[in-house]
Chains A and B, each alone.
Chain A
Amino acid sequence: MSNSHIFLKSGFIRTPSQNGVGRYVCQLQRVVLKFCKNNGSSRGMREFVESELINFAKNNPGVVVYLKPRRHRAPVISAEFLNGDKQWVSCHNYSKQDISKWLNLLRTQSGNTTGFRLRKLQHTDHPSIQGPWTPYTFKDPAENLAEYPNTELSKPKIQLKTATDELLEIFNSVQISDKKGVE
């Protein structure tokens, strides 16, 4: 198994700038589609531009879309986010659907998350509603005045009757019934 993930930057999942508390803002601010007009590796990208790009731009008016044709280079999506992150996705030989999916992923991301390991899949700044535990939380206040070491507090909770106790009990009960018999 590879251990490369332990050298990755790590942290917790976060929302940039309280996004969604007031209103939701799409964090993808602009995207540049770079492709070649006749190279085969850009075929999917060209199809995407022809058939689906208009819809994408219409549905996401908050994302600025740039097209950058360049000769004999592999197709690339370069995305820029509101928090200043940039993400670069190579689309070599990708189909139209692949590009659509990658673009959708970028649209729903909060920033560039590649090379970043989430320590947990959930995070909260307020793990407890009742307030965090302290050693005093469930302590009996009566113990505040105790002197230590304390023989009373030291006794085990469950105290079974000893043979002596039982013997005394039997003796006492017999005596009472004897007295009754006399009367």
Chain B
Amino acid sequence: MSALKRVQQWATFARIWHVYDAAWQNPFHSAKLLKKYLMGLHKPIYHPLNDCGDHVIVINTGDIALPEDEWKKRAYFHHTGYPGGASWTVAWELHDKDPTMILKKAVYSSMDGNLQRRYTMERLHLFPDGKVPADLMKNVSNQIQQIRPVPKRLDHYSEQERKEFPKLIDYPKDYILR
């Protein structure tokens, strides 16, 4: 094999590191997106027998957004294996214990249960906030687009913008704002 052909192969199968910002994102929809990158499904060279999955660093998993009342209604089941060892943890409770767990479980269950799944999960790196070790961040060469826009909160608007926002009525002078 000539030197050119060898590096051609190396380049085709190069592992890319992506970063994904999970703030305000639905973890279950995000899981479907991240799974494609982790398994290499987004590549034209994809084949179940070739190892072409990429790495994904997910930041801000603490700020995920669950739809409707999922925080209260979604329960995560665990069984210790002993009699009476079953337990159900509600999503908000699980999120309190480990803010990366909901997204991790979502990605894990979005993939088929085969022998490859646990190795694929090894390529997923989750961080509850924006603090990622610098040596990991050095590998990153692509940003995955979010699936929905991040809403702008009132305190993100400047004082000027808030003042200039059109008003229907003016509060009476003696009205007490709380």
Asked whether any CB of A lies within 8 Å of a CB of B in the complex, the reply is yes
List residues of A whose CB falls within 8 A of some B CB: 131-136, 139, 143, 146, 148-151, 153-157, 159-160, 162, 164, 167-168, 171
B44 close to A (CB within 8 Å): yes
Sample of 5 further A-B pairs with CB below 8 A, known A154-B144, A159-B149, A164-B152: A148-B137, A149-B19, A154-B21, A155-B146, A156-B148
Asked whether, in the complex, the Cβ of B44 is within 8 Å of the Cβ of A133, the reply is yes
Asked whether, in the complex, the Cβ of B149 is within 8 Å of the Cβ of A148, the reply is no
Asked whether, in the complex, the Cβ of B130 is within 8 Å of the Cβ of A149, the reply is yes
**Is the contact region of chain A dominated by helix, strand, or loop, or is it mixed?**
loop
Count: A-B pairs, CB below 8 Å? 60
Asked whether, in the complex, the Cβ of A149 is within 8 Å of the Cβ of B149, the reply is no
The interface size of chain B toward A, counting residues with CB under 8 Å, comes to 28
Given contacts A132-B8, A135-B14, A171-B166, contact A149 B143 (CB under 8 A): yes
Contact check: which of B12, B137, B165 meets A134 at CB < 8 Å?
B12
B65 close to A (CB within 8 Å): no
List residues of B whose CB falls within 8 A of some A CB: 8, 11-12, 14, 16, 19-21, 43-45, 59, 130, 137, 140-149, 151-152, 165-166
- Pairs across A and B, CB under 8 Å, 29 listed: A133-B12, A133-B43, A133-B44, A134-B11, A134-B14, A135-B14, A135-B16, A143-B142, A148-B19, A148-B143, A149-B19, A149-B59, A149-B140, A150-B143, A151-B21, A153-B143, A154-B21, A154-B143, A155-B145, A155-B146, A156-B145, A156-B147, A156-B148, A156-B149, A160-B149, A164-B152, A167-B166, A168-B165, A168-B166
Given contacts A148-B137, A148-B140, contact A135 B43 (CB under 8 A): yes
Which B residues lie within 8 Å of A133 (CB)? Answer: 12, 43-45
Which A residues lie within 8 Å of B45 (CB)? Answer: 133
Asked whether, in the complex, the Cβ of A149 is within 8 Å of the Cβ of B21, the reply is yes
Nearest CB in chain B: distance from A116 CB, A: 22
Which B residues lie within 8 Å of A146 (CB)? Answer: 143
Q: Chain A residue with minimal CB distance to B130? A: A149
Q: Chain A residue with minimal CB distance to B59? A: A149
Which A residues lie within 8 Å of B43 (CB)? Answer: 133, 135
Which A residues lie within 8 Å of B59 (CB)? Answer: 149
Q: Chain A residue with minimal CB distance to B143? A: A153
Nearest CB in chain A: distance from B90 CB, A: 29
Which A residues lie within 8 Å of B151 (CB)? Answer: 162
Which B residues lie within 8 Å of A162 (CB)? Answer: 149, 151-152
Pick the most buried of A132, A135, A146, A168: most chain B CB atoms within 10 A of its CB. Answer: A135
Which B residues lie within 8 Å of A168 (CB)? Answer: 165-166
Nearest CB in chain B: distance from A3 CB, A: 19
Q: Chain A residue with minimal CB distance to B20? A: A154
For the complex, give the distance between the alpha carbons of A49 and B21 in Å.
Answer: 81
Which B residues lie within 8 Å of A151 (CB)? Answer: 21
For the complex, give the distance between the alpha carbons of A18 and B14 in Å.
Answer: 33
Q: Chain B residue with minimal CB distance to A158? A: B149
Which B residues lie within 8 Å of A159 (CB)? Answer: 149
For the complex, give the distance between the alpha carbons of A134 and B142 in Å.
Answer: 14
Nearest CB in chain B: distance from A107 CB, A: 36
Which B residues lie within 8 Å of A153 (CB)? Answer: 143, 145
Which B residues lie within 8 Å of A167 (CB)? Answer: 166
Nearest CB in chain A: distance from B6 CB, A: 12
